């Protein structure tokens, strides 16, 4: 953000160049047009438009400077029959005063918006901080796009943490989206981070999250609060990944030039109080060198094109996945390759369906094979 500081000539927030140039261009154009018109034709009263235009592009001091230039242009003697009437000068003076007031109010409002935006971004990033390039032996890349404009966090979230039982990851979609879901997201993230340290199994982590959501729903009187979640675990010293799904879309395993959906059996969503009655089953998958896992939320596959057709992620994923310039099995997937993968899916989704109407989250993971 650019602050006017002592000069007051620059806008609080960067304005487009055309907006800053517009008052000057209008001033010059009206003056030139007046000098070029026949005697007796008055265009000078159009100069009253310059101060209001300046108020929307500059601060109070910048508005005063342009208004002063306008007054000078009106009052200077001319070689032609262009002489402002006293009523015109009074009208222009009132417009200038009004414009300076508007510029001051706009400047203060911009400062307030900057402050609020900064605090909101800090709070949202505290809830969902950027993923590191690697967590233990697992490289990761996440991409998030909230459906609600101007927000960084909504109803989808992901996280990757290392604990005594290996590296664990979660991607989830809570009921609702936008800022209304941030409280639930924060609660589930806190429960997940504690469970990574305490729970010896992935079904135990799922049960902890389910209990957290049931407790929160009861305390808030919100009996229908639920969330889908996918949990993954990379145990230490084993070339495997364990997967547990709680009503969440199945992830994809990208191996070589192919992409296959992992057959994780979905358990009921979190928040229904069923974790103890119907615990989720754990899927164990052997990993090869260079394997990548892509998890996502239903904002991806439920996006529609103009004809109403859903986005076919399974059909397009293999073609979108980067190869990192290597043949299958030549080496581990790189962090840049994972970032490229998530961005390729996002870009293809935008081309297919336009701006997403639901929160979209993508999480790409790749683990080094133990030596």
| Mean local confidence (pLDDT), 217-228 | 73
pLDDT of residue 7: 36
| Mean local confidence (pLDDT), 237-251 | 94
SS3 273: coil
pLDDT of residue 4: 37
pLDDT of residue 364: 95
| Mean local confidence (pLDDT), 30-51 | 73
Position with higher pLDDT, 62 vs 140: 140
pLDDT band per the 50, 70, 90 thresholds, residue 158: very high
pLDDT of residue 118: 78
- Asked if residue 205 has pLDDT above 80, the reply is yes
pLDDT of residue 248: 94
pLDDT tens string 303-320: 998 888 999 999 999 888
CA distances from 336 to 135, 250, 323, 325 (A): 15, 24, 11, 12
pLDDT band per the 50, 70, 90 thresholds, residue 180: low
pLDDT band per the 50, 70, 90 thresholds, residue 8: very low
pLDDT of residue 40: 59
- Asked if residue 330 has pLDDT above 80, the reply is no
Of 83, 95, 87, 90, the residue nearest 43 (C-alpha): 83
- Asked if residue 1 has pLDDT above 50, the reply is no
Please report which helix (H) or strand (E) contains residue 254, including its range: strand 252-255
Q: What are the residues whose beta carbons fall under 8 Å from the beta carbon of 124, sequence distance 6 or more? A: 151, 152, 153, 182
Q: What are the residues whose beta carbons fall under 8 Å from the beta carbon of 289, sequence distance 6 or more? A: 329, 330, 331, 332, 369
> What is the overall mean pLDDT for the chain?
81
- Asked if residue 342 has pLDDT above 90, the reply is yes
| Mean local confidence (pLDDT), 329-337 | 66
Instruction: Give the DSSP letter string of 281-318.
Output: PPEEEE--TT-EEEEE-HHHHT-B-TTSPBP-HHHHHH
pLDDT of residue 93: 82
| Mean local confidence (pLDDT), 69-95 | 69
pLDDT of residue 139: 95
pLDDT of residue 179: 61
pLDDT band per the 50, 70, 90 thresholds, residue 276: low
- DSSP bridge pairs for 249: none
């Amino acid at each position: 953000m650019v602050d006017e500081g002592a000069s007051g000539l620059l806008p609080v927030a960067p304005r487009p160049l055309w907006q800053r140039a517009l008052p000057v261009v209008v001033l010059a154009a009206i003056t030139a047009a007046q000098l070029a018109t026949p005697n007796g034709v008055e265009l000078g009263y159009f100069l009253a438009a310059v101060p209001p235009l300046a108020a929307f592009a500059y601060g109070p001091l910048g508005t005063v400077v342009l208004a002063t230039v306008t007054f000078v242009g009106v009052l200077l003697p001319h070689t032609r029959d262009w002489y402002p009437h006293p009523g015109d000068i009074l009208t222009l003076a009132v417009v200038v005063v009004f414009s300076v007031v508007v510029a001051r109010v706009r400047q203060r409002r911009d400062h307030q918006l900057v402050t609020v935006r900064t605090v909101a971004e800090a709070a949202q990033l505290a809830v969902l901080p950027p993923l590191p390039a690697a967590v233990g032996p697992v490289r990761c890349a996440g991409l998030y796009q909230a459906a609600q404009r101007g927000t960084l966090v909504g109803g989808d979230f992901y996280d990757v943490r290392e604990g005594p039982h290996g590296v664990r990851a979660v991607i989830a979609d809570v009921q609702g989206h936008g800022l209304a879901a941030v409280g639930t997201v924060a609660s589930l993230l806190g429960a997940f981070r504690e469970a990574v340290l305490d729970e010896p199994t992935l079904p135990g982590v799922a049960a902890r999250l389910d209990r957290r959501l049931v407790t929160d729903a009861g305390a808030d009187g919100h009996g229908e609060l639920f969330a889908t979640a996918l949990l993954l675990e990379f145990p230490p010293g084993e070339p495997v990944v364990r997967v547990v799904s709680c009503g969440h879309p199945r992830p994809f395993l990208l191996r070589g030039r192919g992409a296959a959906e992992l057959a994780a059996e979905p358990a009921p969503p979190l928040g229904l109080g069923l974790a103890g009655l119907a615990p989720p089953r754990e899927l164990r998958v052997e990993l090869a060198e260079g394997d990548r896992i892509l998890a996502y939320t239903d904002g991806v596959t439920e996006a529609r094109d103009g004809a109403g057709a859903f986005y076919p992620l399974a059909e397009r994923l293999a073609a979108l996945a980067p190869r990192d310039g290597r043949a299958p099995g030549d080496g581990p997937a790189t962090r840049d390759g994972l970032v490229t993968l998530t961005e390729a899916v996002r870009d293809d989704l935008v081309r297919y369906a336009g701006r997403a109407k639901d929160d979209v989250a993508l999480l790409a993971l790749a683990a080094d094979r133990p030596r």
